[in-house]
Structure formats: structure tokens, C-alpha cells
A and B are shown apart, each in its own frame.
Chain A
Amino acid sequence: MALVSVKDLHKSFGELEVLKGIDLEIEAGEVVSIIGRSGSGKSTLLRCLNQLEQHDWGTIHLADQRLDGTAMSPGELSQNVGMVFQSFNLFPHKTVIENVMLAPLVVKQTPREEARRIAEAVLAKVGMSEKVDAYPAQLSGGQQQRVAIARALAMNPKVLLCDEVTSALDPELVGEVLRVLEDLAREGMTLILVTHEMKFARDVSDRVVFMHQGRIHESGDPQTLFTRPRTPELNQFIASVL
């Protein structure tokens, strides 16, 4: 069975139907990039996957466990699905290591020394070992985003959702964040990324999903999808971003 299984997912905001029946199966270890025009529902899909938004219809399963509705508490959910935001959202009043240790301490009630070890390990993984005692405001955007990735990894989630995690960065800082994601992909982390970095989507993902007007319009392996799009909408989209 797939690790993530989404069936017939619908979501409206008032009159506006944003997701019009999404079916998506993602295997463990798979890296899936979601591309598409602004407003096509990419963020909403990710936010339904970790229940920041409640969908109106359909089901979401993780492994064989129902994830939506009240089936999972936020605490359980966070140990299954991690998320990294475009705007980092680090806690400005906490140092780097405190940011990373907070959820293990508070949600998992991990003993402090162990939480610290976990935090140091994930910070090393994203190359931020030197800055454990810095405050977010003292870091560059790229460094903040790497800490945000470490913070999500500290809960040891089965899937990591990334919503345009490089879009708020200066161009010269994009590379360091993408490299971290690439490392994670290589290590076998299951990643679902909404991204505008087409080169990254093509080189790193196992599968690319093109969303258009609330539906999965086309999906497939990146080579085929980018070189031989089947629909005019995808063709147009690729032309507009390359």
C-alpha cells in the first residue's frame, strides 16, 4: 500500500471550489513535485494533507491509518507529516536549538538531553551546527529555512511537505536550501514539494504533478512530462516558466 493515499479530495472556500477531486498515491521514499499556476490549489492540497485546512469530501490515509477528520491528534499528526513554509515561521524569541527542541520536548515529552541530541543531529544534517545559539533574526533567509527544515525533521515525520520553500529567498541563497532537500531525497525521505524551481523538479523528483484549476491535470516522470507534455495547459505553463 502507498504511504500517502488521497482519494477524491474536495475543498471549497465559500463559493470557490479550490480542489475538485484530487486522487494521489505516494510511495515511501518517493519525491513528488507539484507544479502549476498560482491559484491552482497547490498550497491548499498540502494544507489539507496536514489538516491545516479541513477538506469537505474525500479521504486521506497515511500508511493504513486514516489521517483526516478527528482520526489523528495534532501531536500524532506532527510525527507523521512535517511541513516547511515559504516564510520559514521560525519562533523569533527562541534560539535555533530551542526552535528545534520545542516540539520534541513539549509534544513528545522527550527528555531534555535526548531532545538536545536529536536537535544537534538534525541541525548537523542541514549544515547549521555552527549557529545553534543564534536567534532567527541573526540568520540569513537560507539559514532560517534550513533551521525550519531541521525543526520539522526533529519530529521524525514519515513525509515532509514543502510549500515553495525557496520562493522568499534571494537567488543566491536558493541553492543551499535545495541542496539540503536533495540530500534528504537521497537518504530516502518522502518529500512532497510545491515548487517553482523547474530544474530542481526535473532533476530531483521521481514524479511531477501538474495542477490546473483544482485538478491534477497531468502527472508522470519528470523527463516525459517536461519534454513531451500531453496537454496544451501544461505546454503553456512550461513555456511560461522556462
Chain B
Amino acid sequence: MTDFTLWDIVRNLLLAGRWTVVLSLIAFTGGAVVGLVLTLARMGGLWPVRWLIRLYVDLFQGTPLLMQLFLAYFGAAVLGFDVSAWTAASVALTLFTSAFLCDIWRGCVEAVPSGQWQAARVLGLNYLQSMRHVILPQALRLAVPPTVGFSVQVIKGTALASVIGFVELTKAGTMLNNAAFAPFTIFALVALGYFILCYPLSRYARHLEKKLYGAGIR
């Protein structure tokens, strides 16, 4: 095998790290859109709708992300769909994210005091108007810190996409190590990569949380 310089390793990890970022963005954006629809449907829908959404949330929260990825990739193949690792990872991570965000956001909507609903109702606002003008703006402020905090879980979750052959940071690390046999250096660098992505987000989430408590909301 050829000799790998440290720069070769770093360069390859950086290139693969792009896909970690892209996959995280897809999962988070897709998860947020699906999660928002689910949250609204769960708050306002009829009981069968609420029950189904709850089941959906429980299923995704109660099974390992790894199994969800396997099912999306191999399960789809069994059902006759030819899905790429890209598609499978994006779909599985989007659904996983949506389930968690739906639960986080439902909690935030419910944390808005019932007096706010009553005041809106007494002023003549219907359900959607109350949601839009009174409840959601307040829930949103409560939701920002835990949502930013959860984005860290999504980034780390993308590492599991390596098992279905998706070449992101972790998979690239494994492949490089197979060629260069420098596990300590390589995996330390991989870990550092995740840390650089996640740490600012955790810090920011903590900062937002402090700000929220400081503002005396809740």
C-alpha cells in the first residue's frame, strides 16, 4: 500500500465530512417539515389521527436507529424497491428526526398555559387562529433550545448510515484505516470532526436555554 501522509488522511476525512453535513441537513430539514405537520395534526386532529401519530412516534423512539436504517435499505430491497444508500439514509434519518421533533414540539405547545387558549377563544379566535397568533409563537420560543440540542443527536446519528455503505465521516474513517492502518490517529480525527460539528450546537442550545429562563418565560 502507498504511504499516507497525515494531510492525505485529513483531506479524505474532510471530503467525506461534507456528506455528514449534507445528510444531517437533509435529515434535519426533512424531519422538521414532517415533524411540524405531525405536531399540528396531533394537536388538532381526530382521535384516530392522534393515535396513529403517537404510534409512529413510539415506534421510532422505541427502536434503534440502526434497525430503522437496515429496514429502509434492505427492507425496501425485499419489497422490490431499488433504493440507494443515499435515499435509504435520508428517508430513515428524516423519519427518525420527525418522530423526535414531533414529541419535543408537542411538549412545547402543551407548555403554553391553558389561560392563553381561553383568552384567545374568548376573543373569538378559532383553533387555527389561536394556534397561529397566540400558541405557536410562544411554543416556538420554548422549542428552540431543545430543537437545537436534538440536532446534535441527528449529526451523530448519521454515523450509523456507514453500515449501509453510505460514505460519510465514519465510513471514510473505516476505509482509510483499512488502507493506512493508523486506527488511533484516524478515529481520533473522525471523533474530532464530529466534535467540531456538534460542540458549537450544544453550546448554542445551552446559551438559548439560559436566555429563555432569564426572560422568565414558563
Contact = CB atoms under 8 A, between A and B. Distances in A.
A214 interface: no
B134 A91 contact: yes
B119 A155 contact: no
B174 to A, nearest CB: 48
A75 interface: yes
B217 A107 contact: no
B210 interface: no
A146 B123 CA distance: 16
A39 interface: no
B125 A89 contact: no
B141 interface: yes
Given A91-B134, A107-B129, A137-B216, A151 B115 contact: no
B115 A74 contact: no
A151 B138 contact: no
B115 A106 contact: no
A102 interface: yes
A89 B124 contact: no
Nearest to B137: A93
Given A91-B134, A106-B133, A85 B119 contact: yes
Interface string A73-104: 11111110011010101111100000000110
B124 A155 contact: yes
A93 B125 CA distance: 17
A52 interface: yes
A100 to B, nearest CB: 10
B123 A102 contact: yes
Given A93-B137, A102-B133, A79 B122 contact: no
A50 interface: yes
A108 B122 CA distance: 14
B216 A106 contact: no
A85 B141 CA distance: 24
B118 A52 contact: yes
> Which interface residue of B115, B120, B123, B217 has the most chain A CB atoms within 10 A?
B123
Nearest to B127: A74
A236 B137 CA distance: 48
Given A92-B138, A93-B141, A85 B115 contact: yes
A102 B116 CA distance: 13
Contacts of A89: 113, 115-116, 118-119
Contact of B217 (A74, A87, A92): A92
B61 interface: no
A107 B122 contact: no
Nearest to B132: A106
Nearest to A84: B122
A77 B122 CA distance: 8
A135 B22 CA distance: 40
Interface of A: 50, 52, 73-79, 82-83, 85, 87, 89-93, 102-103, 106-108, 137, 148, 151-152, 155
